[in-house]
Amino acid sequence: MTDSAILRVAVPSPLRRLFDYLWPADLGPLPAPGCRVLVPFGRRKVVGMVVEVTDHSDFHLSKLKPVTQLLDSQPLLPEPMLQLCKWAAGYYQHPIGDALGTALPALLRKGEAVPEQRHTYWQLTPHGKGLPASALARAPRQQQVLQHLQRYRTASRAAFQPLGITLTVLRQLEQKGLIEAVSTPLLQSSDPVELLSETPLPLYPQQQQALDAIELHNFHCYLLDGETGSGKTEVYLQAIEKVVRYGRQALVLIPEISLTPQTLSRFQARFNCSVVVLHSGLTDRERALGWNAARTGQAAIIIGTRSAIFTPLHKPGLLIVDEEHDNSFKQQDGFRYSARDLAVIRASREEIPLILGSATPSLESLHNCQQQRYTRLILSQRPGSAQQPHWQTVDIRQHRLSAGYSRELIEAIQQQLNEGNQVLVFLNRRGFAPTLSCHQCGWIANCYRCEARLTVHRHINRLLCHHCEYQQAVPNSCPECHSAQLQCIGQGTERSEETLEALFPQYPVIRVDRDTTRRKQAMQAMVDRVNGGEPCILIGTQMLAKGHHFPNVTLVAILDADGGLFSADFRAPEKMGQLITQVAGRAGRGDKPGTVILQSHHCDHPLIASLVQQDYRSFSDMLLAERHLAQLPPFRHMALLRAEAADGQAAAEFLQYARQCAEQLLPASPDTGYLGPLPAAMEKRNGRFRHQLSITCRERPRLQQLMSPLSVMLEQSPLGAKVRWSVDIDPQDMT
Ligand code: ADP
Ligand code: ZN
Ligand code: ZN
């Protein structure tokens, strides 16, 4: 059918398609793509977004419903963002409505109007201006306002606060018709002379070379590969400065804002222009305001976590992904996008540069450098007097450990504390002990919903499952044999804290993990305490590996380096090496040299040896060679189909069907491999049995050509209705 205006609208629905609606002429001229509309959907009215305007529908016009209401007169999402969302929905095989929902702040998703940041101030009315300064003598507060405004002409509410003038006083004057409130849109402060509020550091030669290499006027990816503390942030700051000076905006993605308050304050300290931070602690309104400031160009610099990749920019100039190897850039459920990978797509479409920064780059990015798709910029020094730490291993195969600590390690800690230094102990397991077991019969406390052990948390005296919500009180006796001889086996941070307090009673022990940092500001309080400089011991999980700068830490101890060596997840060794290198990088960032002590049962394992004797670069080269041999990503492109159900058989059958469909579309060959369905590494989680099927292709487009029709087939399969299933493109977590 033709001659009617039809809108193709993305609505919040699990279906992977757009929906057609009629545009009633009485609603005015046709809206542009990117505008929100209210449309009937099933029995409800939902907020959707116009994606296409057309005159054709595959359905008969009499079947189409009209749009109820237009919510925006101007597109909310500019064309490039709309295209990016469409691309991402297609690439990640995710419903377009939900993908677009991710791109909008919650407030706007709900259909509310875009809030406007306004500047509100008070001024005298003509009547007020006519009064002498001595008027209102019987109301001294009101007189004070009068005199203030006669002198300064305008003043905001905030300016009156320090004078002790309340809103009530202002309202009284307003009622008398003497003053009035005026509200104007917030203007951009764009005076380039005042862009900086501190002088940039003079760059050392490698930093300068890196900065000079970054071409600001076209698309290219740069991997800023610089050890922790080598001055990557300074390079970002100076690249941003250049971009902002020619009137463009910079978008910076960082892994987790609460863990990196220092990075944030460095951006705020450097620039006078408006820096918008998008993080989970904001209210819906604040988030929408920040988002809109980016969209309209009021904000020159936007810093955010994963979902900030979808922030529209008025004049994009530069994208930065700091700690590009970090897992948090990949969403692990729902819309399983990688913000880092989308940054590459976005930068190429907007024709702007992208800087990926890391001390421990992902194998994907290193591979892209080897293929000469990215330019690798290396910073191999630390500025000033800070030195790379010295590494040492302790082979713990033959040793008697006291609660996880070798004698060598205890002595080394003692020595550093005696010298007035600080020590950081890394143990990537929170809780008291990972296992509770019966000494008599060997019973082990397992989660009944997961194929996992329960972790002992002593301060709350409970057993918690770290994979589901299950928890219970710690039993007094064995549920099998009733013996009272229950033992905590293994080490968690809580237990290690206790051990350290017993070993070094005269020094404070500060534990940093998810349990101790739940409270807002708790992390900052700990960082401040450590930076106070007193000798102390920090014990914590990977939270300590991120972004912090502890100048007085001279010893970093890694209690157990073996976790990632023998895992079912092919990415586990890469992650282990990144974590160890990142934690080690916390040592010796100040004037004093640092030492790293690594305890392992496998000191001669080639991966451990290359980390300790050489560095992350040789370690990652070795891993890349292994991936090449095994034909795993980044040498192949992977999609992982997951299915889970209370009935494990149903999950496996669904994936078996998926494999049949897939093999019909694209038969197995040297270029295309199928593996599975197989039980997941953790076969049972939260009461459901989990299976997976992995598909790997040599060519990315091949995989895409397969996944789109396959997803549609699976969506329509009745088998799929019985299980919970998902498609994960470029999966990061294989467990
Ligand atoms: P990274 O981001 O690589 O971890 P930073 O940019 O945080 O490194 O730099 C580490 C420390 O070195 C910071 O305290 C920073 O102020 C300082 N620094 C960075 N560049 C220089 C420089 N060119 N001259 C002096 N100090 C610098
Ligand atoms: Zn027992
Ligand atoms: Zn569980």
> What percent of the chain is predicted at pLDDT more than 70?
96
**Cβ–ligand 1 contact at 201 (below 6 Å):** yes
> Which ligand lies nearest to the CA atom of residue 436 in the structure?
2
Which range, of 79-88, 130-139, 665-674, averages the lowest pLDDT? 130-139
| Distance in angstroms (rounded) separating the CA atoms of residues 104 and 36 | 11
Give residue 118 CA to ligand 3 midpoint distance, Å. Answer: 49
* Residue 192 pLDDT > 70: no
Of all atoms in ligand 1, which is nearest to the CA of residue 386?
12
Give residue 445 CA to ligand 3 midpoint distance, Å. Answer: 11
Give residue 418 CA to ligand 3 midpoint distance, Å. Answer: 43
**Cβ–ligand 1 contact at 720 (below 6 Å):** no
**Cβ–ligand 1 contact at 229 (below 6 Å):** yes
Structure tokens of 85? Answer: 């969302």
> Which ligand lies nearest to the CA atom of residue 454 in the structure?
3
Q: Please give the C-alpha separations between residue 360 and each of 118, 311, 493, 559, 576, in angstroms, as whole numbers.
A: 43, 27, 25, 20, 11
Ligand 1: residue of 230, 234, 238 to mutate (most ligand atoms within 8 A of CB) is: 234
Quick one: pLDDT band at residue 3, thresholds 50, 70, 90?
Answer: low
Give residue 501 CA to ligand 1 midpoint distance, Å. Answer: 34
Please name the residue that has the structure tokens 């997941």.
680
DSSP β-bridge partners for residue 427? none
> What percent of the chain is predicted at pLDDT more than 90?
65
Give residue 458 CA to ligand 3 midpoint distance, Å. Answer: 18
> Which ligand lies nearest to the CA atom of residue 471 in the structure?
3
Quick one: pLDDT band at residue 184, thresholds 50, 70, 90?
Answer: low
**Cβ–ligand 1 contact at 383 (below 6 Å):** yes
**Cβ–ligand 1 contact at 393 (below 6 Å):** no
Quick one: pLDDT band at residue 556, thresholds 50, 70, 90?
Answer: very high
Helix (H, G, I), strand (E, B) or coil at 189: coil
* Residue 2 pLDDT > 80: no
Of all atoms in ligand 1, which is nearest to the CA of residue 263?
7
**Cβ–ligand 1 contact at 228 (below 6 Å):** yes
Residue 636 contacts residue 698 (beta carbons within 8 Å):
yes
Ligand 1: residue whose CA is nearest its atom 14: 229
CA angle 299, 300, 302 (to 5 degrees): 75
pTM (2 d.p.): 0.88
> Which ligand lies nearest to the CA atom of residue 477 in the structure?
2
Of 497, 476, 518, 479, nearest in space to 432 by CA: 497
**Cβ–ligand 1 contact at 585 (below 6 Å):** no
Quick one: pLDDT band at residue 693, thresholds 50, 70, 90?
Answer: very high
More confident residue, 400 or 108: 108
Give residue 275 CA to ligand 1 midpoint distance, Å. Answer: 20
State the pLDDT at residue 627. 95
Mean pLDDT over the full length of the chain: 90
**Cβ–ligand 1 contact at 231 (below 6 Å):** yes
The string of DSSP codes covering 352-375 is: -EEEEEESS--HHHHHHHHTTSEE
Residues in the chain: 735
* Residue 654 pLDDT > 50: yes
Q: How many helices (H) and strands (E) in the chain?
A: 21, 30
Task: Tell me the average pLDDT across 721-734.
Answer: 93
Task: Tell me the average pLDDT across 101-119.
Answer: 86
State the pLDDT at residue 631. 92
Residues near ion ligand 3 (Cβ under 5 Å): 447, 449-450, 465, 467-468, 470
* Residue 338 pLDDT > 50: yes
| HEC profile of 12-67 | CCCCCCCEEEECCHHHCCCCCCCCEEEEEECCEEEEEEEEEEECCCCCCHHHCCEC
State the pLDDT at residue 385. 64
* Residue 507 pLDDT > 70: yes
